[in-house]
């Protein structure tokens, strides 16, 4: 349960960073950044969906049409068609952690059928993967904080 609480804490921080960016141009890419606010916010959502699916193969990913927009290795410069609005992404982020917590209840101590290996770091339990997502979200929330400061200038 501690990891679930950490996930919710990280999400609260992320939402706080996004609140600082109310009224900002979510599509502006300041000098020195590879992506924009919209991509980072969408990436946080898409990543947690994918990692949840890795923990629970029966999990049904929400907004699967967002994956090609926000997955690792994608870029706003490649976007075609409908891109979710800031309001859509914020709504998805706000409801995601409670839904994920409910989905993963009682599953975090289980060994993964397919352990994940990222950069030589093997994660073989749901808890390990969810801990990684908390760290990952913190990295992107830090970028959102940097955006908030760079877009003010």
3-state secondary structure of 112: strand
Q: Looking at residue 81, what is its pLDDT?
A: 87
Q: Looking at residue 149, what is its pLDDT?
A: 84
Residue 152 main-chain phi, psi, to 5 deg: -70, -25
What's the rounded Cα separation, in Å, for the pair 59 and 49? 9
Average confidence (pLDDT) over 87-114: 96
Dmax (CA) for the chain in angstroms is 48
Q: Looking at residue 1, what is its pLDDT?
A: 63
Q: Are 52 and 7 in contact (CB under 8 A)?
A: no
What are the tens digits of pLDDT across the range 7-40?
A: 999 999 999 999 999 999 999 988 888 899 999 9
Confidence of residue 153 (pLDDT cuts 50, 70, 90): very low
Helix (H) or strand (E) holding 111: strand 111-118
Q: Are 143 and 40 in contact (CB under 8 A)?
A: yes
3-state secondary structure 113-139: EEEEEECCEEEEEHHHHHHHHHHHHHH
The Cβ of residue 9 has, within 10 Å, a number of other Cβ atoms equal to: 14
What's the rounded Cα separation, in Å, for the pair 93 and 15? 8
């Amino acid at each position: 349960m501690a990891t679930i609480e950490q996930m919710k804490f990280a999400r609260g921080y992320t939402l706080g960073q996004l609140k600082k960016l109310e009224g900002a141009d979510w599509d502006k890419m300041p000098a020195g950044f590879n992506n924009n606010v919209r991509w980072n916010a969408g990436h946080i959502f898409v990543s947690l969906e994918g990692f949840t699916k890795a923990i629970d193969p029966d999990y049904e990913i929400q907004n699967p049409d967002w994956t090609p927009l926000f997955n690792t290795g994608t870029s706003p410069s490649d976007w075609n068609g409908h891109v979710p609005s800031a309001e859509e992404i914020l709504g998805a982020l706000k409801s995601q952690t409670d839904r994920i917590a409910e989905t993963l209840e009682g599953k975090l101590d289980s060994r993964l059928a397919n352990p994940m290996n990222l950069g030589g770091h093997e994660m073989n339990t749901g808890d390990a993967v969810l801990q990684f997502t908390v760290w990952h979200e913190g990295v992107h929330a830090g970028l959102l904080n940097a955006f908030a400061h760079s877009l003010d200038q």
